[in-house]
Amino acid sequence: MRIGERGIQLIQKFEGCRLEAYLPTPTDKWSIGFGHTGPEVVEGLVWNQDQADEALFNDLEWVEACIDENVTVPLIQPERDALGSFIFNLGCTNFRKSTLLVKINQLAMDEAAQEFLRWNKQGKDVLPGLTARRAAEKELFERSA
């Protein structure tokens, strides 16, 4: 199972698309498109929409691999889609260390859904954008197939 259209739409909505390289914060890596990073992304890099779309779909491969390597129980499509957005934003390392993953692998899906809401901070600051994203991911995670 791959990340579906609802997961992709969630990523696109919350990441936004910028066709010129940018620094999300002064301490971040250069990014472009839908939050794509890599050694080729440097100040001044400009893409077209096709390049941004292609990078997003290529980046989803590592997200899907992270889910496949760490989740040991079956998922329904909405759960996989919500996790795809979460992992795309926070990275596989954070997901591996999360209580969210523990609860999923225990099949405690109601408790797992609540864990999304805990990931709404950058440092100690609660960010409205992350709060909205986590609420949307939780809502999608809780949907039945």
Q: Specify whether 61 is catalytic.
A: no
Please list, in sequence order, all residues whose beta carbon lies within 8 angstroms of the beta carbon of residue 2, skipping any fewer than 6 positions away. Answer: 60, 64, 80
Q: Which residues lie across from 97 on neighbouring strands?
A: none
Q: CA dist 4 to 30, 40, 59, 77, Å?
A: 27, 27, 14, 7
- The radius of gyration computed from the CA coordinates of the chain, to the nearest angstrom, equals 15
Which listed residue (5, 15, 20, 43) is catalytic?
A: 15
C-beta contacts of 129-135 below 8 A and 24+ residues apart: 129/14, 132/14, 133/10, 133/14, 133/85, 133/89, 134/86
Indicate which residues carry an active-site annotation.
15
